[in-house]
Amino acid sequence: CEDIPRLGFMIPCIPSNIELLVGFHLSLPMGYIDSAQFFCTTTETIADITNGTWHDMHSQPPQPLETYADTSPPPSDCNCTNGLPTLTMNSELQQLCASLPASTKSDLLCYGDVYMDNFCLLAQGDASIRNSTRRHLFHVIDCVFHPNNSADSVRQEPNSIKKLRRGNTFWMTQKKMLGWLLD
């Protein structure tokens, strides 16, 4: 019972009501088959907040889990080796983005979606834009799910370190996700 407040989440308010609401799961939110609809509500909220606040993404400080975020996936998980960004692609994108006017840079595409607890981000731009996009999602996850601190001895990190270490957040032009090949 003492962990219930640590899993609190924000509920978006309607424009006519300025009162912020906080929700608390009274059933096990992760890993319990009958709680999927509660968990999906929370992760869909994260996706909605992420998509509604892209303008904030360049002002956010580094997030501690970014150290795991650039882990390359094993080739067996990908089945699409030509989807890995090459150094040539990154340098060409860097040059292209550097030549764009500032007003155009702010309109580059960023989009996120989620199925259960699997987030999928799309980003248009160089490595710094892609990393800012991922960092933004990580910060929104931390805003909705209380991030761990030194007092959290039992609770796992809300953002799956296991998935980060498997290369799930590595930027690719083709990706296998939930059995689907996204290209």
What whole-number distance in Å separates Cα of residue 133 and Cα of residue 125?
Answer: 10
Task: Give this prediction's pTM.
Answer: 0.67
| pLDDT confidence of residue 85 | 52
Q: What is the pLDDT along the chain (183 residues), one digit of tens a residue?
A: 566 666 677 777 777 777 778 887 665 555 555 556 666 788 888 999 998 888 888 888 888 888 888 888 776 655 444 555 554 556 666 676 677 666 655 566 788 888 877 888 888 878 888 889 999 999 999 888 877 777 777 777 778 888 888 888 888 877 777 777 776
| pLDDT confidence of residue 134 | 92
What whole-number distance in Å separates Cα of residue 18 and Cα of residue 13?
Answer: 7
| pLDDT confidence of residue 41 | 81
Residue 159 falls in which region: left (phi positive, over 0), alpha (psi -120 to 50) or beta: beta
Cβ pair 69, 169 in contact under 8 A: yes
| pLDDT confidence of residue 168 | 85
Q: What are phi and psi of 55, to 5 degrees?
A: -60, -20
| Lookup result for tokens 């999927």 | 36
Strand boundaries in 78-182, DSSP class E: 110-115, 118-123, 175-177, 180-182
